[in-house]
Amino acid sequence: MRIVVYDVTGRRVATLVDGQKSSGEKRVTWDGRNDHGAEVATGVYFYRMTTPGFSQTRKMVTARRDGTSRYESSPLIPAKNPRRREIP
């Protein structure tokens, strides 16, 4: 399984998961930092989850919470893909 975050220009920002995972429900949290540990700007990002035989991209928005540098990300709208399947 691989989960990667991209900015609106398509550049990779962060890799959240890259490797084998057991089956079942999982939760992944992004702290709003890129692969180098720097905080990213607030705004729209995309994350792509890929596994053998499956790929899905979703959009999310990051926003500063309570005036601090902590981020809150929430999925918005699934990318339009006629062959899209929900993540089990």
Residue tagged 């902590």 (tokens): 70
User: Which range, of 5-9, 43-47, 58-62, averages the lowest pLDDT?
Assistant: 58-62
Q: Is pLDDT of 51 > 80?
A: yes
Whether residue 9 contacts residue 3, with contact meaning beta carbons closer than 8 Å, is answered with no
84 in a structural domain: no
Structural domain containing residue 53: 2-78
Most confident of 32-46, 52-66, 70-84: 32-46
What are 62-71's pLDDT values in tens digits? 877 666 545 5
86 in a structural domain: no
Write down the pLDDT at residue 87: 45
pTM value is 0.71
Query: Greatest CA span in the chain, whole angstroms?
Result: 41
- The average confidence (pLDDT) of the chain is 78
In total, how many domains does the chain have? 1
Beta strand residue intervals within 2-86, DSSP E: 2-7, 12-18, 43-51, 54-64, 71-78
How far is 46 from 78, CA to CA, in rounded Å? Answer: 10
69 in a structural domain: yes
62 in a structural domain: yes
